[in-house]
Structure 1
């Protein structure tokens, strides 16, 4: 999924999601938030990600949404693995449903705290679960479509920033209907870009949410050369690729990378 090479962080989530590789040997978790699951990704890929995850997490009403999605694709609930961890304030889940999955050995953790989002709380509980069970993960896939709500989009990005502190060295990818989004920490990065995205000039963005950043890049149509990105100044949205198989990014601050994946779907 990623590696470090000569102090360069390597990223290749598109290959992991869209190629037929053996994910069972990889150390990742999957988290399903309480939001609409409107993914255009082949449902078999999502089920494969779920089946081969080391930890499966549903967050509050995300359990109902996941079960509805499974049944909509003509599977029975018994056909898929139960969540390892169900977390949230549980105000939208029936006691009967929780009891059913508790009997399936799902761990139920209620998190009523309202000063954090369910997304943030779920990642903290995931970290605790891994620590308690001695499970090693390096990446987390989060089904996080936001139905167009700007406040939820920003809250989810804020969680990426918070998680950088308590889930250091974990790579958290937000999967929406037509995009992938994650956080680049200060340093050097190399992102694999599939041929299809390059051929079809799919969009990508470097967004300096949180603080201004000095950024250099290669592999983009409009590259940056020690350029200051900031709100109120330059923001690199609606960029695309120049045909090279990788994009390299050097940044002195935390930077949101988002990329369109529609041509891969």
Structure 2
């Protein structure tokens, strides 16, 4: 069985799921930059932190560096903290799954960057193991093939977002089916499940699947 990591990057805390904000998410943790400090303050114990650490004071850096086993400093700005974090995990562990928190909300440039990172060729094998999670959304990523998706009970909507040009996208048994669509990146939003398990397929490209709910339905 591979390693399952939970990862915190720099998004606003109000977008975190309730279980994260209250220190109730068990498991192995890694963080980007100031995310490590936030995790320590909540009682989590990350194994790895990456970044240039310019968002922390020297005193905060010392408090993080003395308790986290593996520190990876970002050498330049040619990659984001999340890119470096995913690469480091991929190179050092046999990964089964990575759940990323703090990748949404706040600045839109960072949001789109965090989504399109998973379209990079170097993450081909890793992308299907990554989920981006916040209080109202769970984003998963798929390579070509026929796929089964399971409804997350608290989520209502289902979106399909090709991140690259795709061919022969079929939404097979969703509320609003789609047959043999090919085209450039777009967002097929506001679909819904029929039952608790549905299926879709496509022949080429990369597709993100988003399960979501309206923000006024979330927990406090």
- If the length of structure 1 is used for normalisation, what is the TM-score? 0.71
2:11 to 27, 32, 35: 35
1:208 aligns with 2:166: no
1:96 to 26, 49, 59: 59
Kindly report which structure 2 residues correspond to 1:11-90, keeping only aligned pairs within 5 A, or say none: 27-39=3-15, 41-43=17-19, 47-49=23-25, 51-53=26-28, 56-67=29-40, 70=42, 80-90=43-53
1:258 to 205, 210, 213: 210
Q: Which has the higher helix share?
A: 1
- Partners of 1:247 and 1:88 lie apart in 2 by 39
1:151 aligns with 2:151: no
Q: What does residue 85 of structure 2 align with?
A: 122
Q: Which runs of 5+ in 1 are unaligned?
A: 1-24, 71-79, 131-135
The structure-2 alpha-carbon separation of the partners of 1:166 and 1:184, relative to structure 1 and needing over 3 Å to count, comes to: closer
* TM-fit CA distance, 1:107: 1.4
* TM-fit CA distance, 1:112: 2.9
* TM-fit CA distance, 1:196: 5.2
- Partners of 1:125 and 1:45 lie apart in 2 by 25
Kindly report which structure 2 residues correspond to 1:159-198, keeping only aligned pairs within 5 A, or say none: 159-162=117-120, 165-166=122-123, 168-169=125-126, 171-195=129-153, 197=155
Q: Which has the higher strand share?
A: 2
* CA RMSD, 1 decimal: 2.7
1:220 to 169, 174, 192: 174
Per-residue Cα deviation, 1:62-102 (whole angstroms, up to 9, x for no partner): 2244456x2xxxxxxxxx24211111011112333333333
- If the length of structure 2 is used for normalisation, what is the TM-score? 0.84
* TM-fit CA distance, 1:225: 1.7
* TM-fit CA distance, 1:249: 1.1
Q: Size of the alignment, in residue pairs? A: 215
Q: Which runs of 5+ in 2 are unaligned?
A: none
Report if aligned partners of 2:166, 2:202 keep a CA contact under 8 Å in 1: no
- Partners of 1:98 and 1:40 lie apart in 2 by 23
- Partners of 1:256 and 1:205 lie apart in 2 by 8
* TM-fit CA distance, 1:235: 4.1
* TM-fit CA distance, 1:153: 1.9
- Partners of 1:238 and 1:166 lie apart in 2 by 28
The structure-2 alpha-carbon separation of the partners of 1:248 and 1:62, relative to structure 1 and needing over 3 Å to count, comes to: same
